[in-house]
Amino acid sequence: MKKTRKILPLLLLAALSLGSCKSQYEALLQGNDAEAKYKAAFELFNREKYQKASALFESLSVLTAGTERDDTVQYYWALSNYRYKDYPTAETNFKNYLEHFPRSGFAESAAFLRVDCLYKATLRYELDQTPTYVAIAAINEYKMTYGDAVHSAVCDRMLEELGERLDRKAYENARLYYKMEDYKAARVALKNVLKDDSENRYREEILYLAAMASYKYAELSVPAKQRERFLVFEDDYLNFVGEYPESAHRKELEGLYKKVKGKN
């Protein structure tokens, strides 16, 4: 009982202390003391209290607008949101920053961090790829603006990954017709993928499936149509082995080709 009586005052003091700190922060947030806000915002930022720092920098931005501290406050407001992993807000912050301070010493860093926010907003290949196109455009713009910047290699890796994602999206969408056994539509869709992007990373698989689709479409056709449609397969086979003579798929396609030639 005595121990409880001793502990209670200590807990009360701790609670009052926490309440006091909270009130002090809120008073600072709502006040107009730019110098105090500036100092506190950086203290919170350096202590990795990014959400609170962001709120102070945002509040401070109204007071420092048009002053020599304006670009610094705006940049650290964005950076606080970025470090807090609020990437949509940070991206908007950095975009606005670059529009107002294109020649600032923080401009390149802001441009790259905006790119990174957009990159982080992209979705896996099964989902909508609109954010991927937006990110790719921003990365290319960054590379054109800053050339061989320190982040250039990172941007190249981003572009490689995002490009692969788009290639797979196109390939998987076309392959879906093949999986549904709609072989005529599958061949058209697969060929259209390469028509739109001849350097698709799945080119070998696309040409293989196109040949398989033309074979199966011919095989399932009425006898009167088979000869004509097997000729399409023969063309697809010859195009495939001409481009990928060492492919693991060659043996399978070659067997089908011999089978067709035997019929003819």
According to DSSP, residue 209 is labeled: H
Give the contacts of 211 (CB within 8 A, at least 6 positions apart): 233, 236, 237, 239, 240, 253
Structure confidence at residue 150 (pLDDT): 81
The reply to whether CATH 1.10.287.3510 applies to domain 31-119 is no
Structure confidence at residue 264 (pLDDT): 64
Give the contacts of 93 (CB within 8 A, at least 6 positions apart): 74, 77, 78, 81, 82
CA distance 54 to 48: 11
CA neighbours closer than 13 Å in the CB half-sphere of residue 41: 25
Could you please report the per-residue DSSP string of 95-137? HHHHHH-TTSTTHHHHHHHHHHHHHHT---TTS--HHHHHHHH
| Global confidence as pTM | 0.84
Q: At residue 132, what is the residue type? A: T
Instruction: Give 10-residue mean pLDDT values along the chain (264 residues).
Output: 48 46 81 93 97 97 95 98 98 97 95 98 96 98 86 94 98 98 98 97 98 98 95 97 97 96 75
| Burial annotation 46-66 (CB, 10 A radius, 16+ → b, else e) | eeebbebbbbbbbbbbebbee
Structure confidence at residue 12 (pLDDT): 42
Q: At residue 116, what is the residue type? A: D
Structure confidence at residue 262 (pLDDT): 77
Structure confidence at residue 251 (pLDDT): 97
Which candidate, 44, 138, 151, places its Cα nearest to that of 91? 138
